[in-house]
Amino acid sequence: MSPFVQLSFDGPLARLTLTRGDKLNALDQAMIHALADAARTIEETDQVRVTILSGEGKAFCAGGDIGAWGALPPLEMWRSWTRAGHRAFEALARLRTPLIVALTGHAFGGGLELAAAGDFRIAERGVQLGLPETGLGMAPGWSGSQRLVRRFGASVVRRMALAGQLFEGDAALALGLVDEIAEPGQGLARAEAMAADVARRGPIAVQIVKAMINFAEGEDLDAPIEGLAGGLTAMTQDLAEGVAAFRAKRPPTFRNI
């Protein structure tokens, strides 16, 4: 685990925090791998019902640390940077439990792509969101042209990625980039209130509904439908009979129940 990615648990709530505030929480390789590891830990912790992702300091996340990727040769950029970021962000987006992102500071480039992995985004007033990559002569690499388009629409992504426009406050809310605007200093508290609302609901129902929404959105086209099928068959007496017959080395007698 990177020292700049902290994971803690408080009953049904998991807290995932970027703590590289002096560098605007810019992501390096170790942080990317730590995010993937944290997602795996959250997924394997049964009591977790909801996760809050936040960043310390003035920015939620300023994107990828240019010092970490700026000198990489093309093949290494693809192998160890772009693909690693995709794996981490996909693991967060596909958590079986909801992920709430508290934007108490700006989210640019990879930081906005990270925020887009959440199910909800709560931004403090004055927080700016944007995709500045083309201004550096590069393209968004961690789903900025894919997940962001699915979740926010092509028009707003064009405005950010092609024209360099930044959005904040009520404009970001109206465009669907965030789900709620909080006053400065209240973003984390509002995320905690939403997390409490989520945690009070039926946990299995919440997880199943999230899986169905992800499927409808094209976020995960394989695991949700097969997971639901597996769960349904696991409740049948026919499965119990099939397992018992296998163990007894006899033909099963299925009863269609």
User: How confident is the model at residue 85, as a pLDDT?
Assistant: 92
Query: What's the half-sphere exposure (Cβ side, CA atoms, 13 Å) at 238?
Result: 7
Q: Which residues form the domain of 53?
A: 5-200
One domain for residues 195 and 241? no
Is the CB of residue 5 less than 8 Å from the CB of residue 91? no
User: How confident is the model at residue 72, as a pLDDT?
Assistant: 76
Helix then strand count (H, E) for the chain reads: 12, 10
Asked, for residue 167, whether it belongs to a domain, the answer is yes
User: How confident is the model at residue 235, as a pLDDT?
Assistant: 86
Is the CB of residue 59 less than 8 Å from the CB of residue 123? no
Digits of tens for pLDDT over the chain (257 positions)?
Answer: 689 999 999 999 999 999 999 999 999 999 999 999 999 999 999 999 999 999 999 999 999 988 888 777 888 887 788 889 999 999 999 999 999 999 999 999 999 999 999 999 999 999 999 999 999 888 898 999 999 999 999 999 999 999 999 999 999 999 999 999 999 999 999 999 999 999 999 999 999 999 999 989 888 777 777 777 777 888 899 889 888 998 999 999 989 89
User: How confident is the model at residue 123, as a pLDDT?
Assistant: 98
Burial code of 197-233, b = ≥16 C-beta within 10 A, e = fewer? ebbeeebeebbbebbeebbeeebeeeebeebeeeeee
Q: Model pTM?
A: 0.91
Asked, for residue 105, whether it belongs to a domain, the answer is yes
Asked, for residue 253, whether it belongs to a domain, the answer is no
Asked, for residue 217, whether it belongs to a domain, the answer is yes
Reported as type and span, the H/E element at residue 61 is strand 59-61
User: How confident is the model at residue 232, as a pLDDT?
Assistant: 81
Reported as type and span, the H/E element at residue 8 is strand 5-10
The sheet with strand 99-103 has its strands ordered as 5-10, 13-18, 50-55, 99-103, 120-124, 180-182
CATH number assigned to the domain comprising residue 93: 3.90.226.10
One domain for residues 186 and 217? no
One domain for residues 144 and 66? yes
Tokens read off for 247 = 């163990």
One domain for residues 79 and 114? yes
Count of positions (residues) in the chain: 257
Positions annotated as catalytic residues are: 113, 133
One domain for residues 106 and 178? yes
